[in-house]
Amino acid sequence: MANVVSTFRTTESYRVFTRLLKRKTVAFGLAVLVFFILVAALAPLVAPYDPAKLSIANRLSAPGSTWFFGTDEFGRDVLSRTIYGARLSLLVGFAVVVLAAAIGIVMGLLAGFFQSLDTPIARLIDAMMAFPDILLAIALVAALGPSTTTVIVALSIVYAPRLARVVRASTLVIRELPYIEAARALGISTPHILIRHVARNLMSPVLVQGTFLFAQAMLAEAGLSFLGVGVSPEIPTWGTMIASGRQYVGQADWITFFPGVALVLAVLSLQLVGDGLRDFLDPRLRKDL
């Protein structure tokens, strides 16, 4: 174990990590993010009540010592629901980034590396990006039927072209570098060059873009659930909670307020981390760190 720790300490990732943490905003963003991940993972342990437990006698109770965040229209504890809401909100965001990255990297690599494929894929990316994200996502959900999986698939299709564009741009640059020519001269196969020598060097822009997309996906999921075309209203996510509390604005604002604050904090933390990563990985901005 000690050996593993000491090995990690000498790696490039560790150096990047410690330098990133020196920046207060990044440290704050990471701390908030880790907090949300822990809360989501440990939801059954940290939530004071069962998030689905109805208690009509206590409906719309204001925040106080019994219910820190108050109760909703069915007497369910808003704090417990906000804690459980973190699970699906984070999970959807993460799943979207992974799936969108998988599609986007393949599209971008093919377009950037093979000239014959560039025009058709680039045009397809242009056309996909002509749709506003929420609108394309609700059309896809409408076609495929609303469910958590559909939301993930729809948002991945919406965001994949954005990643593809970044990957394509970087691949176009990498393709012309001497070491790729050297790899070709050595007789290394094209798939091998693509995976081992091109894709590996794309990880920085993908990581930065992926962090921002994570934030976007969380906002979009909440938007879809709010509109009633996303995750089922019975499942607590920050979006469904805000949607259900909507009728009680002015009467029981806590129902919408707390999940909203949680969402803003989670999105903000991702943006801060993304900003930090971008500045760090962009050599022109690195001196600021």
The residues that touch other proteins, with contacts defined as CB under 8 A, are 123-124, 126-128, 130-136, 138-145, 215, 219, 222-223, 226-229, 242, 246, 249-250, 253, 256-257, 260, 263-264, 267-268, 271-272, 275
Q: How many CB atoms lie within 10 A of CB 281?
A: 16
Min. distance of Cβ 243 from other proteins in angstroms?
Answer: 8
Q: Residue 145 is which amino acid? A: G
Nearer to other proteins, 111 or 198 (CB): 111
The burial class, CB within 10 Å (0-12 / 13-18 / 19+), for 251 is exposed
**How far apart are CB 257 and other proteins at their closest, in Å?**
7
Shorter beta-carbon distance to other proteins: residue 34 or 142: 142
Question: By C-beta, is 130 or 186 nearer to other proteins?
Answer: 130
The whole-angstrom separation of Cα 124 and Cα 103 is: 13
Q: What DSSP character marks residue 286? A: G
- Considering the complex, state which of residue 180 and residue 208 has its C-beta at the smaller distance from other proteins: 208
Which is nearer to other proteins, 180 or 258 (by Cβ)? 258
For residue 233, the number of C-alpha atoms closer than 13 Å in the C-beta half-sphere is 9
For tokens 């719309």, what's the residue?
A: 60
Q: How far is the CB of 80 from other proteins (least distance, A)?
A: 20
Angle CA 275–219–19, to nearest 5: 20
CA distance linking residue 192 with residue 72, whole number of Å: 56
Nearest 10 degrees: Cα torsion 166, 169, 170, 175: 150
CB 93 to other proteins: min, Å = 13
Question: In angstroms, what is the minimal distance from the CB of 24 to other proteins?
Answer: 11
Is 77 in a helix, a strand, or coil?
A: strand
CB of 138 to other proteins, least distance (A): 5
Give the residue with the Cβ less far from other proteins, 162 or 199.
Answer: 162
Can you read off the two tokens belonging to residue 263? 């969402």
